[in-house]
Amino acid sequence: MSIMKKTLATAAMASLMLAQPAAAENVRIALVVKALGIGFFEAANEGAEEAAAELGDVEIIYTGPTSTTAEGQIEVINALIAQGVDAIAISANDPDAVAPALRRAMDRGITVISWDSGVAPEGRQMHLNPSSPELIGNTIIRLAADHLPDGGDVAILSATSTSTNQNIWIEEATKVLPDYEGINLVATVYGDDLADKSYREAQGLMSTYPDLRAIIAPTTVGILAASQAVADAGKIGEVNVTGLGLPSEMAGAVESGATLSFAIWNPIDLGYAATMISYNLLKGEATAEPGASISMGRIGEAVLDDNNEAAMADPFTYDASNIDEFKSIF
Ligand code: RAM
């Protein structure tokens, strides 16, 4: 080997040796979302990046399919296994369909949690709910009932029909429905967390049910699309759109009166908390088992129940009185 080549080789080795310890210390946490392009998940990613900056040795891989399918998520999971990431934190499009791929990830030593929309217990170590499912289910009905003192027909516009979180909330909402006298649930339809499909489903509800008084959309994509459909149909004041939305996306609907009030928890905090939990599990700082308490950093402790689930915080209600304060935050 020429002296020149030797020097280069030695320099390359030296730089490799210098680079290696830092690279080995960094852990890679993949935040797998239902689909790319959804504001709610982009806000969660902001929180994940905040946690990474606080922890110092974390790289966040924000990823997901282009539409809200389990098949798309399975491809993403398989690619993450091949890359050898340290943790996968997923909001699932289907609790069962993604479980085998996630099992394979866990068998290879990858830490797996679900957050927002859960995975069946065999496919994850723990699940972080944004809030208690009972509370969310009751909240979405109450939001509609608050503005219907004499009762009336309401319909639900959900995300996908296999979405774990929306399905649990709808189940809980249905349980408390008898407590709200005169509130009549006439239909549940699915917009798949796609703006155009949600818009068309909202239009369909208004034409099929002429006495409809509220559309309850427990999805940030659905509530925005429905509020636009109601405004475009000239039905502001007749059909109130409510459910779960982002203040930043719903400010216009509140201003126009298409939406009188809606709720949500802080999506930035949710992404932050999911990242902190993933980190503490993969570093062995905590074990996912019933009764365990896992630090969520500035949010507090996640205490696991018998199903290894925990809840982050209560949802907060937004209306014309407070939306301006929050619309620039998330
Ligand atoms: C959409 C997604 C997400 C849900 C929110 C409320 O962004 O469906 O999973 O938590 O709405």
- Pairing, β 27-32 against β 58-63: parallel
Which atom number of ligand 1 is nearest to the Cα of residue 264?
A: 6
Kindly tell me the sign of the dihedral angle through the C-alpha atoms of 132, 214, 157, 262: negative
| Cβ–Cβ under 8 Å, residues 297 and 52 | no
- Which atom of ligand 1 lies closest to the CA of 117? 9
Can you give the pLDDT at residue 5?
A: 47
Q: What pLDDT band is residue 104 in, cutting at 50, 70 and 90?
A: very high
Is the beta carbon of 219 within 6 A of some atom in ligand 1? yes
Q: Which pLDDT belongs to residue 24?
A: 58
Task: Decide if pLDDT at 23 tops 70.
Answer: no
Closest-lying ligand 1 atom to the alpha carbon of residue 130: 10
pLDDT score at 241: 98
Q: Which two tokens stand for residue 19?
A: 């680079």
What does the pLDDT look like over 258-309, one tens digit per residue?
A: 999 999 999 999 999 999 999 999 999 999 999 999 999 999 999 999 999 9
CA atoms within 13 A on the CB side of 309: 16
* Residue pLDDT, tens place only, 41-91: 999 999 999 999 999 999 999 999 999 999 999 999 999 999 999 999 999
Residue 128 burial (CB count, 10 A): 26
Residue nearest to atom 3 of ligand 1 (CA): 219
Which tens digit of pLDDT belongs to each residue from 30-42? 999 999 999 999 9
90 DSSP β-pair partners: 32, 114
State the distance from the centre of ligand 1 to the C-alpha of 220, rounded, in angstroms: 6
pLDDT for 221-269, tens place per residue? Answer: 999 999 999 999 999 999 999 999 999 999 999 999 999 999 999 999 9
Residue 156 in contact with residue 189, Cβ under 8 Å? yes
pLDDT higher than 70, residue 143:
yes
Q: Which of 33, 17, 237 is nearest to 147 (CA)?
A: 237
Q: State if residue 34 touches ligand 1 by the CB under 6 angstroms criterion.
A: yes
Pairing of strands 293-295, 126-129: unpaired
Distance separating alpha carbons of residues 49 and 59, to the nearest angstrom? 8
pLDDT in tens, 144-168: 999 999 999 999 999 999 999 999 9
SS3 at position 105: helix
**Coil, helix or strand for 14?**
helix
Q: How far is the CA of 40 from the centre of ligand 1 (A)?
A: 7
User: At 106, is the secondary structure helix, strand, or coil?
Assistant: helix
Q: In the prediction, which pLDDT does 6 show?
A: 46
Residue ranges of domains in the chain, CATH in brackets: 27-130+267-313 (3.40.50.2300), 133-264 (3.40.50.2300)
| pLDDT at residue 25, as a whole number | 80
Summarised one tens digit per residue, pLDDT across range 2-13 is 444 444 445 445
**Distance from the Cα of residue 302 to its chain's centroid:** 17
Each residue of 129-141: pLDDT tens digit? 999 999 999 999 9
pLDDT at position 8 is: 47
Whether 244 lines ligand 1, by a CB cut-off of 6 Å, is yes
Q: Please tell me the predicted confidence (pLDDT) of residue 172.
A: 98
Rg of the chain taking only CA atoms, in angstroms: 22
The pLDDT, as a whole number, for residue 303 is: 97
SS3 124: coil
Strand partners, 154: 185, 214
